Chain A
Amino acid sequence: MDVLAASRCPRCRRIVAPPARLCPDHPVAMEPYQVSAVGEVVSFTTLHSPPEGFRSPLHIAIVELEGGARLFCHGEETRGVKIGSHVSVEDVNSVFYFSHMGFADRARLFWRRAGYRGEKVAAIGKSFVKGFLKGMPGGQD
């Protein structure tokens, strides 16, 4: 599974990515840490007149990774994306990009995790149900 470089506070266990020198909540040096590159969309927006140096339309999302670290990300599109959508995050030259995970991606992910934990059958069932619910067509948030 892809991982992203992060940092963790030895005092409060808070995780941030990209890594920071000091914890945002304490003047304490953070330790290097890694987080898996999948998460949920916290919010997203599209700019039609972005600042100089950016292509229009510019999609920006805040994605929360497992462990609670939140990232700013760019995306190719936001069609079908909702708050709570599962996305994978890729680090391209120190810039994060999110992509919407389709049903197959999510199933693969759950399969892989389940394989690691040896709980394949339960996870496949869960992934199928979750995927089915998330995949249902819905209105705009």
Chain B
Amino acid sequence: MDVWIAGAGMTRFGKRDVALLDLMAEAALAALADASIETPDAIMVAAMNPEEFTGEGNYGSLVGTYLGLSHVPALRVETATSSGMAAVYAGFASLAAGLHRSVLVVGGEKMTQLPTPRVSEIIGRSIDPHERSYGSTMPALAGLITRAAMHERGFVLREISQVAVKNHAHGARNPYAHFQGPVTLEAVMESRVVADPLRLLHCCPISDGAAALVLTTEPASVRIAGIGQGTDSIAVRYRPELTSFRATQAAAEAAYRMAGFGPERVEVAELHDAFAPFELISLEDTGLVPSGKAGRATLDGETAVGGRLPVNPSGGLKARGHPLAATGIAQLVELVWQLRGRAEGRQVPARVALAQSIGGLASNNWVTLLEARR
């Protein structure tokens, strides 16, 4: 059974002096209004660490009750930083199985009220405990991967930095983005070293925000053509390859198989650039760019709005922001707007779109393919 996206909505991302429940409600109500549905058959809630960030738990019931939908079945889905797209998968699966006819998927995170080291520690709990005992944080693991990728795959700092420059330029055209201004290549390359060779402006910010979709079995403007999950060892030391993500490759393969087409039909993509080099790795892992070509394609402007294959027209995690469990849903919200021709200021011509979400340090990844209705 085909699954369609009938409604999309999100909050502005950034430092928001608004409770997580209110952020989720804002996104959910916007998506429901967009779909012209008052009461969905089920609710899938994505939140990565609401207990630690907000002190509140039982988030499925909490969101359902807050929305005035306490009688609607609700559950919470979690796969670390890709929880949002995991919740979309849960919604997709329940519709495809014929359990429901409409599902509200809503995800969000509220983080900026805590000091950065505390946020880093909470996110770091998604790392293998042995590796964490060595002081490994997400930026530390990303630094290890970046150095290996520069050595093995020939990525250079200029290409990596250009990802951040491009995504900031896109974010400046997206009113929902955390960062509303551009950055220069020099500013990125000279920003402070966080985890050598990674610098501060290669890393996504800490953001608050929420995003929501309404999925239906009733045809709407955009169809979920394929969705796939891929996994890998949570322990980075158990992986034979550091510089590509098996979890992305497996997710992409599953999504393409379900869709019945390959990367050649994709015209716009949202990739998980939590760290700028991850966009280059992900471009090649999803097959959107041939192996070894991602850096060059980025420097040549192929992946910018106006280029052959615009990547992260929203600004990506780098500039739109990364409120953890909101991100995978926000990627799809952006792509729905793009496919409907409603991405004002950053519209690209496209009928087929791809979103990729990385969970943890690429231990639980997702790829979703969307297609505009003919």
Contact = CB atoms under 8 A, between A and B. Distances in A.
Contacts of B144: 43-45, 60, 62
A44 B130 CA distance: 17
A86 to B, nearest CB: 16
Nearest to A46: B196
A62 B151 contact: no
B146 to A, nearest CB: 8
B134 A60 contact: yes
Contacts, number: 82
Interface string B157-188: 00000000000000000000000000000000
A47 B148 contact: no
Interface stretch (A27-35, A49-57, A107-115, A117-125): A49-57
B135 A60 contact: yes
B135 A141 contact: no
Contacts of A50: 135, 137
A95 to B, nearest CB: 8
A45 B150 contact: no
Interface string B236-255: 11101010000000000000
Chain A interface secondary structure, helix, strand, loop or mixed? strand
A49 to B, nearest CB: 7
A56 B247 CA distance: 33
A45 B238 contact: no
B238 A70 contact: yes
Given A16-B237, A47-B137, A47-B195, 6 more contacts: A24-B235, A47-B135, A51-B117, A52-B117, A70-B237, A95-B133
A11 to B, nearest CB: 16
A68 B237 CA distance: 10
A51 B238 contact: no
B299 interface: no
B147 A45 contact: yes
A71 B195 CA distance: 19
Q: Which range contains the number of A residues in contact with the other chain?
A: 20 to 34
7 residue pairs, one from A and one from B, having the closest CB atoms: A45-B143, A43-B148, A70-B237, A54-B135, A24-B238, A43-B144, A46-B196
Nearest to B134: A72
A51 B237 contact: no
A99 to B, nearest CB: 16
A79 interface: no
A106 interface: no
Interface string B76-95: 00000000000000000000
B194 interface: yes
A51 B121 contact: yes
B190 interface: no
B147 A51 contact: no
A74 interface: yes
- Which of A45, A68, A71, A141 lies at the interface centre, i.e. has the most chain B CB atoms within 10 A of its CB? A45
